[in-house]
Amino acid sequence: MIKIGIVGGTGYTGVELLRILAAHPEAELAAITSRKEDGMPVADMFPSLRGHVSLAFSAPEKARLNECDVVFFATPHGVAMAQARELLAAGVKVIDLAADFRLQDTAVFEQWYGMPHSCPDILAEAVYGLPEVNREAIRTARLIGLPGCYPTSMQLGFAPLLAQAQPLVNESALIADCKSGVSGAGRKAEVSSLLAEAADNFKAYGVKGHRHLPETVQGLEAIAGRKVGLTFVPHLVPMIRGIHSTLYATILPHARDTDFQSLFEKHFANDYFVDVLPAGSHPETRSVRASNMLRIAVHRPGGGDLLVILVVEDNLVKGAAGQGVQCMNLMFGLDESTGLRHVPILP
């Protein structure tokens, strides 16, 4: 059994980790930390876990995290890098769901997150936790920086196009028009997340610049092996879970005869959690709700030179906790789908 600790188990990604790991056949939940809720049974805060999780929250100093096999950080940015060195020295693997180990350039991290990076030496060995791109590196990693929810949808949506030796599309002018449910903002009291503010409303935000832009560009350039230009516009939609990303790329003249449907199907043929839908499909966020699946549809309106890729995922599962467990499975030699074959819920 894999002995697991979770730091920051009171947020949406934390409870999603608990939900998934409680039913994981190889997982043993050993510690869940929260200084404020020290001593409170987890099921008192999250009644959905009653009968499945018997642990109580414990203050970090009581949790004995250095006795775990792996520790997940479902915490605000800056927490994992303050504790990772000690855990790694004790032989504990670390999976961070925040941004501490996503960006390899510390100057870029400091620019977008407004804090100094406290362990650049450890950052250098961090593996970006996108299994469909970095599967082999994840298998041998000690430290994972898990992708953000938006970047997961954008990178996997563009990956088949950028993974080609010769560019098929204008890679300097990629466009991502993305929408997310309110849970993407986290479990906190905030005016914009109030029911009366978010319901019956639809808005763009972060158009001038969003923290997930440099992360996504870094990932896309790693896939392509060359420079990439991306315009990313996120939107908030009045739903709880889900991301829908509509991606645009202009086909280059020499690639006009490419069968893009076949290209996507072949690229993801061995990726259990990526479902390339039949040509002409329109994926819906509810088709992946509460699951680790990501569904993609490829369109070429009017047979023209604009390629439109539709991508849906659950921002809390494939966009966060589920992807973290997928990485954990790889790190401990398990089939990466272990404990993650949940059927999406409907309605």
Cite the DSSP H helix spans in 189-232: 195-198, 212-224
Q: Please give the pLDDT value at position 180.
A: 97
Q: What is the pLDDT of residues 243-296, one digit of tens each?
A: 999 999 999 999 999 999 999 999 999 999 999 999 999 999 999 999 999 999
Active-site residue among 68, 119, 149, 178?
Answer: 149
How many whole angstroms separate alpha carbon 326 and alpha carbon 273? 10
Residues 103, 165, 253, 159, CA torsion sign:
negative
Find, among 201, 203, 182, the residue nearest to 193 by Cα.
182
Q: Please give the pLDDT value at position 193.
A: 86
Find, among 151, 97, 100, 101, the residue nearest to 125 by Cα.
101
Q: Please give the pLDDT value at position 68.
A: 98
Q: What is the pLDDT of residues 102-136, one digit of tens each?
A: 999 999 999 999 999 999 999 999 999 999 999 99
How many whole angstroms separate alpha carbon 212 and alpha carbon 215? 5
Answer yes or no: are the C-beta atoms of 93 and 69 closer than 8 Å. Answer: yes
Report helix, strand or coil for 328: helix
Taking CA atoms, 48 is separated from 15, 19, 239, 255, 346, in Å, by 10, 8, 20, 51, 18
Strand blocks (E) in the chain: 2-7, 27-33, 70-73, 93-96, 127-128, 143-145, 174-180, 203-204, 230-236, 243-250, 274-276, 294-299, 306-313
How many whole angstroms separate alpha carbon 25 and alpha carbon 343? 17
Q: Which residues of the chain are under the pLDDT cut of 70? A: none
Please give the domain boundaries of the chain with CATH numbers for all domains.
2-125 (3.40.50.720), 150-315 (3.30.360.10)
119 is catalytic: no
Strands 70-73, 2-7: pairing kind:
parallel
How many whole angstroms separate alpha carbon 148 and alpha carbon 100? 11
Q: Please give the pLDDT value at position 9.
A: 86
The residue type of 48 is S
